[in-house]
Chain A
Amino acid sequence: MRRTHSWAVSAVFALILTAFLYSAYRGHAIAEAASASVSVDPAVLPYYAFRSFLRMLAAYLLSLTFALVYGTAAGLSKRLERVLLPILDILQSVPILGFFPAAVYFFVTLFQGRTAGVEMASVFLIFTSQAWNMAFGVYESVTTVPRFLGEALEAYGVRGWLKYLRLYLPASIPKLVYNSVVSWANGWYFLSPAEVIGTGLLLPGLGSFASAAAQQGLLGRTMAAIGTLVAVVVAMNVFIWRPLSQWAGRFRYEFSPGGGREPESFAYELWRGSRAFNSIRRLFTRVFDRMFIALLSLGTAARRLRQGKSGRGLTALRWVANVLLLATAVYVAVVGARSLVTVFAHPLPAESARIPLGLLASSLRLTAAFLISAAWTIPAAVALGHNDRLYQLVTPVLETLAAVPATALFPVIVFFLATRPGGMNLASILLLLTGMQWYLLFNAIAGVRAIPRDLREAARSFGLHGWLYWKRVVLPAIVPSVITGSITALGGGWNALIVSEYVAYKGSVLSAFGIGYLLDRAVYESQNFQMIWLSLAAMVLVIFLLNRFFWRRLYDRAVIHFRFDE
């Protein structure tokens, strides 16, 4: 997890984000024109499911392209890495809600209030919940390619695009597939906020259906929407993600001989055997090969150009492009700085004084959810990691459960708990749990399975059992994985705060006091730019500082002390 960091870049980028936020705030009034209502007739569910799926697919394809380009660029160029990584760090810390105003202003005004603009805004929002971890995954894959592999390829004259195709792209696939699954789950999780943008914009989809039905108190229809969503998620899991994960397994270069196998997917064989799929695949391969050969010759031509006389012209062109980019960045940063001034120029809204308290309340809730998660996921991970048959059986079920967005169930949970004293608090913690525990579980399981077989056998042969075995072998061994899982879990938790502290139900709003509540209120009710900016900034700052100065340090120390050096 080596990350380079630059305060300068982070600061500049934060200013750029502020600029977007400010201009978005100024333009949000235009957004009222688009469609204002969504049907709650169960008959439209299949069609709405289709629309939601299309939106998710569009966002995913965007995220995939982004991840491949961004991650590979950051991985291969030290110069770019210094700029791109800090930016990604910040982006990952900003909760999705923070991107609403930017999305709304930019896309809706671009399309002058037409539905296309709103759709694009929605796709963009889903994109922001999917892209960052995939980009990190690609970056990590590219930077951990063993050096000798790259050197061997260079020795045989394999460079440029071919090297990318043969080395870096395949190396990225396992992490890409894994993160794609996570990203889709994330996307589904935030489907409702992405389809119900702001106060009046509604897009036909499962998220908005569930939200509208919940608002009108139609519990049965809400459940129907949830059921449809679950069906789609399970179908995707069985027919797409499990076979894809099995296929991605062949791109790993660590071999665990005789160790536990990944559960096999029957759908994988279905795809392989299907004639339609195979003919499409062959067609694609032929088209791709032709395109690739063209790309290769382009690459050689470009290289010759660069070395030839016109090489100087090209370098000059690159110089100009760099300067232009820098100038734009500086200009936007200045705009952001100026808008920052307006934030602090006017008297701050009274509510902003509650931000520290809100942060505290939310942190307490997060801690509670985290401890509950750890209490069940770690023992479960140890059990699953040690018993291969149990692992094969239970993991597919767990993966499916993890993919079902708990946000869809939230209206139901709220319905049952809202009337009890402290009910919203409990409901909120429950929802946080569901957004956090899976990260912890799957990371812990990976950590247990990574314990070298020799170590486990040595422990057994010397009679280590029960609590002593846990204390001396298992728990220390999984510390790095649990830390990684905790970082991701808490990240998911902070994001989940937005949907768990503020819920629209039966025409009124149920809430639990916290930073998520404050932010939501600012976005949905008062639309006060200062409040939005301050709550967002507070959240991002806390997450960022915690990650950088606590978790990162803890992880680095843990890796030294607990790592197996083979």
Chain B
Amino acid sequence: MALLDITGVYKTYTDNNRSITVLEDISFSVEPGEFVCLVGPSGSGKSTLLRMIAGLDQATRGSILYGGRPVTEATDHIAVVFQSFALLPWLTVSGNVELGLEARGVPKQERQQRANRFIDKVGLDGFEEAYPRELSGGMKQRVGIARALTVEPELLLMDEPFSALDALTAQNLREEVLTLWRDETLPVDSVVMVTHGIEEAVLMADRILVMSARPGRIKADVPVDLPRPRNPKDEAFSRFTDRIYSLVL
């Protein structure tokens, strides 16, 4: 059974007498172990779709099933990483990373232990007592990733996680995310990542879903059969990227 099943999803906003359809007839599924990227121009509703999968928003029509059950609200099995990091400025790195566990009523001692494991995994060992304002952009996103991993989700949702970072930091983080995804000791099975960087998608994804401009529709569902680890300088890589570009435009 597919981990995530999306069928005939529409999203329409009604405002006074005007209605705007941002998503039209979205259908796809995500299998356990897949890394799926959603690419498309701005306004194609990618982020809205991600939020609906996370249970933060409801579809106007259609169904979103996770593990066979409809997604109605935020669940323990799905965690989100945000483009703007979304860290609470008044909590330390530990405080932020422990947030999901705190919400579940996990006692302080255990929370700290579990959180520290992931703070180490993302390379922020020693920064547990730092505040977000003392961290660089890349470090902040690492905190965001650690926070998501700490709740040990099966599905990781990422909304343009590297857009707010400079090129070098983004590159480092991409590699790290791939490593974490492939890490057997972590329960993260599948990843759905929204991005408008096509190279990024080709570098990371098993499958690329190309979306159209508003109203967002799935234009193409392209499996990326390039062997890992992928090298952006490869000819095959460039050709693949060109192919995706032509699909987007």
Q: Is the interface of B mostly helix, strand, loop or mixed?
A: loop
Q: Are A455 and B79 in contact (CB under 8 A)?
A: no
A254 at the interface (CB under 8 A from B): no
Q: Chain A nearest CB: distance from B79 CB in Å? A: 7
A461-B55 contact, Cβ under 8 Å, with A562-B89, A562-B90: yes
Residues from chain B with a CB closer than 8 A to the CB of A564 are: 89
Measured in the bound complex, the distance between the Cα atoms of B88 and A441 in whole Å is 24
Q: Are A460 and B99 in contact (CB under 8 A)?
A: no
Output the nearest chain A residue to B56 by Cβ-Cβ distance: A457
Residues from chain A with a CB closer than 8 A to the CB of B80 are: 457-458, 461
Residues from chain B with a CB closer than 8 A to the CB of A565 are: 89, 132-133
Measured in the bound complex, the distance between the Cα atoms of B72 and A460 in whole Å is 12
Residues from chain A with a CB closer than 8 A to the CB of B54 are: 457, 461
Q: Are B103 and A455 in contact (CB under 8 A)?
A: no
Contact with B along A437-472 (1 / 0, CB 8 A): 000000000000000101101111111110010001
Output the nearest chain A residue to B100 by Cβ-Cβ distance: A462
Measured in the bound complex, the distance between the Cα atoms of B88 and A476 in whole Å is 9
Q: Are A462 and B99 in contact (CB under 8 A)?
A: yes
Q: Chain A nearest CB: distance from B95 CB in Å? A: 8
Output the nearest chain A residue to B164 by Cβ-Cβ distance: A566
- Sorting the interface of chain A by its residue count into under 10, 10 to 19, 20 to 34 or 35 or more gives 20 to 34
Residues from chain A with a CB closer than 8 A to the CB of B202 are: none
Q: Are A463 and B82 in contact (CB under 8 A)?
A: no
Q: Are A461 and B74 in contact (CB under 8 A)?
A: yes
Question: A106-136: which residues lie under 8 A (CB-CB) from chain B?
Answer: none
Output the nearest chain B residue to A479 by Cβ-Cβ distance: B90
Q: Are B103 and A463 in contact (CB under 8 A)?
A: yes
B51 at the interface (CB under 8 A from A): yes
B102 at the interface (CB under 8 A from A): yes
Residues from chain A with a CB closer than 8 A to the CB of B91 are: 472
Residues from chain A with a CB closer than 8 A to the CB of B103 are: 462-465, 468
Q: Are B56 and A460 in contact (CB under 8 A)?
A: yes
A473 at the interface (CB under 8 A from B): yes
- Residue ranges of B at the interface with A (Cβ–Cβ < 8 Å): 51, 54-56, 74, 76, 78-80, 82-84, 86-91, 99-100, 102-104, 132-133, 147, 151
Beyond A457-B82, A458-B80, A458-B86, 16 additional contacts (C-beta under 8 Å) are A452-B84, A455-B86, A457-B51, A457-B56, A461-B54, A462-B151, A463-B74, A463-B76, A463-B103, A463-B104, A472-B102, A476-B88, A476-B90, A561-B89, A563-B89, A565-B89
Identify 13 residue pairs between A and B in the complex whose beta-carbon atoms are under 8 Å apart, listed by A's number: A452-B86, A454-B83, A454-B84, A454-B86, A457-B80, A457-B82, A460-B56, A462-B151, A463-B76, A463-B103, A565-B132, A565-B133, A566-B84
- Residue ranges of A at the interface with B (Cβ–Cβ < 8 Å): 452, 454-455, 457-465, 468, 472-473, 476, 561-566
Pick the 9 closest A-B CB pairs, nearest first.
Answer: A458-B86, A463-B103, A462-B100, A454-B86, A476-B90, A461-B80, A461-B74, A464-B103, A454-B84
